[in-house]
Amino acid sequence: VGYGTSTFFMGQTNGAGYQPKWALSYDSYWGAPNQIGFRIQTTEDPSTVQWVGVNWTPLSNYLYFFTFKREGNLFSFYQNDTLIGTGTFSNLLPDCNAEMVIGAWGEGNGGGTFFNGIIDDIRIYNRALNTQEIQTLYNENICFQTITVTDTINVYDTTFVTVQGSIDSGLVAKYYFNGNADDESGNGNNGTVNGATLTTDRFGNAGKAYSLYGVNDSIVIPDNPSYNFGGSDFTVSFWT
């Protein structure tokens, strides 16, 4: 990932100016230097821009799994399967009545500030996942090898962790990017790709992630009331 002064992963937006919007981002100057979190614009007044985040410094050429969740007024931020910090925000997220944009702050197909890097396996929930569920998502499809020893006989058992069952409860959208930007949750929140190109995922599988080049690339998801969260709990997770 190319982390500049502002790196916007995704958010709900209805324009490149000071219209109401929110975004998940890394900033090296907004609110406090080197933080990751939520940038929130509640009105057209620039003075209403707010930031809820935690200190975080990226490493070059390193792959991260991020989870952001709201539970009541508490915002929690996870890197991989570990809580790295929390913040409080008592106001509602703005009801933008607008598209969700992956890879930009501002308009999804022109204007705004764009993300430079690879993104994959995005999930959006209308509830706050617990720590065990976040760990389950982080370990999805990772191969573990367990060894059982009986006398002098070694028995090897390889298990793949697969996310299933209640982990899909409250799922609003799921983007595995299996050759396209379709929503695999069954809720029909399919994305339109603007300039982003398919690339290999973290397991080396071709065509299973998207690369965005920080100029005008984005993935735009049409407006849907299901992700107008207001003051409700929610969770967003992704690899980048």
* Structure confidence at residue 30 (pLDDT): 54
Task: Output the pLDDT for position 19.
Answer: 64
Half-sphere exposure of residue 40, counting CA atoms within 13 Å on the CB side? 19
Q: What percent of the chain shows pLDDT beyond 70?
A: 77
- Cα separation, 65 vs 119, whole angstroms: 10
| Banded pLDDT at 53 (limits 50, 70, 90) | confident
Taking the model in full, what pTM does it have? Answer: 0.83
Residues 6+ apart with CB under 8 A from 196: 103, 210, 211, 212, 217, 218, 219
pLDDT digits (tens, 9 = 90+) for 112-131: 577 888 999 999 999 999 99
Angle ∠(190,194,198) on CA atoms, nearest 5? 80
Facing residues of 85 across strands?
77
Whether the Cβ atoms of residue 126 and residue 226 lie closer than 8 Å to each other: yes
pLDDT of residue 153: 45
- For 164-204, what is each residue's pLDDT tens digit? 457 999 999 999 999 999 999 999 999 999 999 999 999 99
What is residue 27's predicted lDDT score, i.e. its pLDDT?
74
Residues linked to residue 234 through DSSP beta bridges, in sequence order: 70
Q: Looking at residues 125-142, what average pLDDT do you find?
A: 91
- Residues 102, 221 contacting (CB under 8 angstroms): yes
Q: What mean pLDDT, rounded, does the chain reach?
A: 80
172: left (phi over 0), alpha (psi -120 to 50) or beta: alpha
Burial (CB < 10 A; 0-12, 13-18, 19+), residue 156, is exposed
Question: Could you tell me if 171 and 189 are in contact, meaning their C-beta atoms sit under 8 angstroms apart?
Answer: no
Share of the chain above pLDDT 90, in %: 42
pLDDT at 94: 77
| Beta bridge pairs of residue 70 | 75, 234
Task: Residue 21: count other Cβ atoms within 10 Å of its Cβ.
Answer: 25
For residue 156, the model assigns a pLDDT of 47
Pairing of strands 234-239, 116-125: antiparallel
